[in-house]
Structure formats: structure tokens, C-alpha cells
Chain A
Amino acid sequence: MLRQTRSIGAAAAFAVLAGLLVALSPGVARAEPVDALYTDQIDAYADYDGADTCSPSDKPGTVALKQAILAAYPGTTGSISRACGGQSEHSEGRALDWMVSVGSQNDLAEDFLRWLLAEDAYGNDHAMARRFGIMYVIWNHEVWRAYDAAEGWQPYSGPNPHTDHIHLSMSWDGALRETTWFTGTELGMRMDQARVAATWRSRNRLDVLRRGPSGQLQQRTWADGWQGWVELGGGLTSSPAAVWAGGSLWVFARGADGKLHQRRWRSSSGWGPWQTTGVEISAAPGVASQNKRIDLVVRTPSGSVAHRAWKPKREWSSWRDLGGVVTSPPAAVWRGRDHLDVFARGTNGGLYQQSKIDGSWTGWSSLGGSLSSGPAATSFNPGRVDLFVRGASATVVQRTDSGSGWGSWVNLGGRHVSGPATASLPGTRIDVLTRNRGGGLNQNTYLYGTGWTGWLLR
């Protein structure tokens, strides 16, 4: 059942955070993918609030910070609580020693610190340190103090040079999960908030859409080469879903009012206005098309999945609640004339499927796995479905049902800061797109007869 093991779902959420850090690690110029997930509201710099009690139990915010870092940098270790004595937030369970050596792991340390102290898209300095409630950081003979941030890194005169670990002390707000890292977004949705949408308009034109840093819709096109991003305005509060159907490019997203909105591009008239459906949704929508028909799936405010369909010259059908409690945007794909599949991540982080076959819904069934994003699905051949998800280690993994049952998970590698999007030209190619740590696109293409190209930066 989808309602099982919410605690495991919480653990999966931590894995998501971890993956975020992984992906943002090397070569980050700006933390754009993350910034897009927050509003401009941010925590004030943490005041100095030194240890004055003996409470050496790991505090939940510190644990979250540790888990995020360790999952992001596999093979490293960290410790939190320590026996009381001296002046140390370790004795209150709100300090973390992340063990990295300045000699052999300086690149990891520098990557993490660059991410932690970067300015976000809203112009907030040291954004992630503030969102986590970091009070001070000690590393390699220097200390960074949130309460003296204007001074930057300053010499550290303590006897331990901190060349074998980074010390991170958290404010009580951070240690108790009261800062915006924990409260600013729905944790399980972070990877999906940054996801792009992709759809083939014709055999030589692929449209990609995404939610920009300030919530605006952005479009990018491949037509024998990648073009730049085009601003299309709007105030989206979810990543978009897009589909090419009936001579139009349809875009769906959650608006600032929390309701499902749609916008349509036609070759004759260009982009039309945003229109609201009046239906509240709690994640990005999913969309599929077949023979000019459009099928929408959304996550309702209660966490269940709902479906509706549109056909030319007809109104939208009424919503049908498909039940369950899911923790990702749902995805939909037609694998055959009378076979629609819907996928979503359950509360235990695993993948779930429900199908409409010959007009009847099957109910949810588990496909297993451990997802750190919602799924994306496409049909390459009649009867076949290819599923893509971001796994627990920030790579993209694939699972295929060629019509005779699901195969095993296949790791396509890479490191990604969003869940995947996919689009295919039946019988020719499958494209998988994610956002990369620099804010651009990762693209991996399956070419019939050739195989996967591997991940390319776009």
C-alpha cells in the first residue's frame, strides 16, 4: 500500500537532499537549480548562541545535515555528539565534524563550502548556510561566522587546525529543523520542482520547458542544434508538464494560487494566455497524449492521484480520483491504443503503477526501487514503456517493460539535480533530460541500433 512506512519516506527525502548536494558539488558556479526551489524568503544570519548545556544527543537538524553531506560524498564520515566538556556545540548535539582531509579531499571540502556559502538567485548571500542555520564553520586554519559574515573567512587561532575535518556548528533553530531548509519546501518534491518538461514537436524539433529562478516559464528548442532559453513569463509554483498534441504545444503547471493552469501554443496564433482550471494540485502535473487526446494526472491536496482527459471538440472529462498517497508528481504514458499507464513514487520511496486497460483502472501495484524523484515515462514502441527515475545515489536509472513484464533496473549514471524528463520518437530515439549542477541540461539519447550516447551537457 502506498500509505505504508512514512518514516522510510522521510529517509528517502533525506536521500533527495543528499543528492542535491552531490549534484551541486563540483564546479558549481551558482546554485541556480536549488534557488529555483525556494521563494525569496530566507533566514536571517544565525546569531552566536554558544553551548551552555550538556545535552549530547544528536539533534534532528544536525542529523539531517550529516545525512545529506554523507550521502552526497559517499565514503566520508561524520560525527555529532560528544561528551560534555569545554566550549563546544558537540556537547549539545548541534555540531557536526565532517571528516575530510585538506591533503587528499580538499576538492570535496571546497565544493561543499562553495555551495554552502554561495549567493542564491534572489541575491541572498550565503544562502544555504542561512537556510540550514549554520552558526560557524571551521576549516583549514580559518573560521567563517554567520554572525560576522561580512568579514568572510578569518584566521582561526584554536590549537586544532581543522585540516582533517570541517566543523559545522548549527543554531538551535537549525538543529531543531526550524529553518527554511526544512520548512521552505516540501522535501520530497525538491528534485521534481527543478525538473524540465520535454516533448517532440516533429522529427527534427524537441521542445524543452522549465520553471525559471523566479517562477517564470522558460523554453528551449533543439532543431539540429540547441538554441537559447526564451522567457515566457508567468508565475509557476511547480515544474511544467508539456505535450505536443493536435497541432498545439500544451503546457501545464501549478500557479501561484495552487491551482492547475494551462497554456497553449499554436502555429497560427502563437502562445495563448494562461488559463486556470480551478483545481487545486499539490505537485507538478503529468501529461500524456495519443491521437490528439490528452490525459492529465495530478497529485491532489490529499496526496492521491487524479486523472482527466481531453479530446478535440469535447470538454475535459471530470476528474477521477485514483486513490493512494504519492510523494511525487505522477507521470502518464500511453503504451497502446487502450492502455494508459500512470506512475508515481509512494510514501516508502518506491515506484508504483496503475493502469487503465480497456477502460478499467487496475489499482496501484508496487514496482519497487528507491526513488529520489518522480518518474518519467515514454513509449518507444507499441506495448513498450521506458521508465526513468533519479535513484538514491543521484544517478538516473531506467526500467523497461517491452510488453512481457518489467525488466531489472539499469543505471544510466550521471549526477543530476532534478528528476528526469523523457520524450521519444517512436522506433527512432529516446531522450532523457535532467538539470545539471551548473543550471543547464544533461542529455542522454538512446538511438535505435546504436544505444545510449551517454550524458552530454547542454
Chain B
Amino acid sequence: MRSREAPGTRRGWVTAGLGGLAVTGLVLGVWFAANGSPDPVIGSGDARSEAQSVAPSVPRPEPTVSIAAGSDAGPASVFALFPPGESLPVDTSREVAVDVAGTWPLGACMPAAAETGRVDFVRGTEQGPEYTRDLAVGWYADDASAASAYDGLRAAVEACASTTGAEIARAPGDLGAASELTTVAQPAVDGVSEVSLYAVTRAGGTVTLAVDRATFQVGTVPAPADATSARAQAERLVTELCQAEPAHC
């Protein structure tokens, strides 16, 4: 079992976090000055009139980032939850929130069991044409806390599926120290099923969750091992974490 990060590494995170915050603030400030406030989030207000006032090919800016009051500048504030530098089409929006007390994005499910040892947390949502993508990463004080959070998260997904009468299928993943791919298909209506594709991983003291939600025709719901989009997101998150903390991978 690998040991938790050295204190010096922790200080490095804080330093990097503060620096990242400053850079992020500077970039956002310059961008706001040049462009005004960010585009409205789809679903708020009159999207039709708003869309008509926006030039069709104007890309969206980087995700809107919010940091909860009182949270310290840990690794979550500098972590690239979504690929940096992407210009999004106007039909796609992203939001990212850093909050050590944040909840895992489980949709309508019950929240995961109370956790111990969490030191930082970031979650974000991408909404695009015909899909929603939720990503989240939690940092824990030690591997045991992370393992507990990982198990709690998997249990929450299963409990959620059972309470809604959804079909659930699970398969082990091959990412990090432990990982699992889960497909949850809600009961079909008119031949269409709302499907959530989960990829949960633990790498050292971190836990990641990638959830892709979309509708599928009955009979076409992918098996967990074939839910490649969620797995690809989880793989990217784990790779990012491993690059930041190679000792954990």
C-alpha cells in the first residue's frame, strides 16, 4: 500500500492552487472585460431570444468556475476537470464548482454515505446536445478514506438503481487501484430509456466519478464494458491525477 503524500507535496498543492487561482482569476477578468458576462446557462430565461442574439459560431468560454466560500485552495482548484483550452460550440455549456463539502453528482439518487477524511472536491457538469456529463474528483487524507468513499459511491449507485426499478449492470474496470463501470437503465417509456453510465475509480487517495446521461432505444443500452464515453472520461481524470501525483499511480 502506498503512503499518503508527504507534507511538502501538500504545501506544493497549496502553492500551486493559489497560483492557479490567481491565473484563473486573471484570465477570467480579462475575458469578462473583453466580452462582458458569460453566456447564460441553457435553461435559464428565454433561451430562444437569447440564442437569437448570439452569433451562431461564437464559441463558449472556458467553464464557469465557482469556489465555495471558506474552501482552501487545494488541488481541486487547479485540477483540469475538463480538457483545458477547448472552445465549446454554443450548444454546449460547462460549469465547475470547487467545494470540499460538495456532493457526488448522482442525479436524483440519494447522496452517498457520509465520508471521512475528504480534503478537497471538485465537480462539474457539461450539457451538450442530447446528453449531460457529470465529472467529479474527491481527494482524501489517506487511502483508507478514499477506499471507503469509493465503496460508498458504488453502493449509492446501486441503491439508487434499485429504488427506481432501473436495470443495473456492473463490470470491473482497469483504471487506478480500483474501478468499476456501471450502466443504469431506467424503465423504458415508448421504447426509450434514460440511461446513466457510471465510471468510478480510486487511485491512491483520490476517487473519481464520471457519469454520462442520455437516452437509448430499448435493446441498444450498452453493456458496462461498452460504455466507452464514461470510461474515457474516467481514464482522462485518472491520467490527470497521475501526472499531478505520480507516486499514487
Mark A residues whose CB is within 8 Å of B. Answer: 45, 47-52, 79, 82-83, 85-88, 90, 97, 99, 136, 138, 143, 145-148, 150, 154, 156-160, 164-165, 167, 169, 172
Contact = CB atoms under 8 A, between A and B. Distances in A.
A159 B190 contact: no
Contact of B47 (A50, A86, A88, A143): A50
A86 B215 contact: yes
A136 B189 CA distance: 24
A164 B216 CA distance: 9
Interface of B: 42-43, 45-48, 51-52, 54, 56-57, 89-91, 127-133, 189-192, 194-195, 197, 212-217, 220, 227, 229-230
A282 B131 CA distance: 48
B130 A88 contact: yes
Contact of B220 (A138, A150, A164, A172): A164
24 contacts: A47-B56, A48-B54, A48-B89, A49-B48, A52-B46, A82-B190, A86-B130, A86-B213, A87-B129, A87-B131, A90-B215, A138-B129, A138-B130, A145-B89, A145-B91, A147-B56, A148-B90, A156-B129, A158-B214, A159-B197, A160-B195, A160-B216, A164-B217, A169-B129
Given A51-B42, A145-B91, A147-B89, 13 more contacts: A47-B54, A47-B56, A48-B54, A48-B91, A52-B48, A79-B191, A87-B130, A88-B215, A138-B129, A147-B57, A159-B230, A160-B215, A167-B130
Contacts of A50: 42, 47, 51, 91
A316 B137 CA distance: 87
- Say whether chain A's binding surface is mostly helix, strand, loop, or mixed: loop
B190 A160 contact: no
Contacts of A49: 47-48, 51-52
B91 A158 contact: no
Contacts of B52: 47, 49
Contacts, number: 109
Given A49-B48, A158-B129, A158-B130, A136 B91 contact: yes
Given A47-B56, A159-B229, A148 B128 contact: no
Most chain A Cβ neighbours within 10 Å, of B46, B48, B133, B230: B48
Nearest to B220: A164
Contacts of A145: 89, 91
Nearest to A146: B56
Contacts of A143: 129
A77 B217 CA distance: 12
A87 B215 contact: no
Contacts of A51: 42, 47
A172 B56 contact: no
A99 B227 CA distance: 21
A158 to B, nearest CB: 3
Most chain B Cβ neighbours within 10 Å, of A83, A154, A160: A160
A156 B228 CA distance: 13
A97 B42 CA distance: 22
A43 to B, nearest CB: 13
A86 B130 CA distance: 7
Contacts of B43: 52, 87
Most chain B Cβ neighbours within 10 Å, of A49, A86, A150: A49
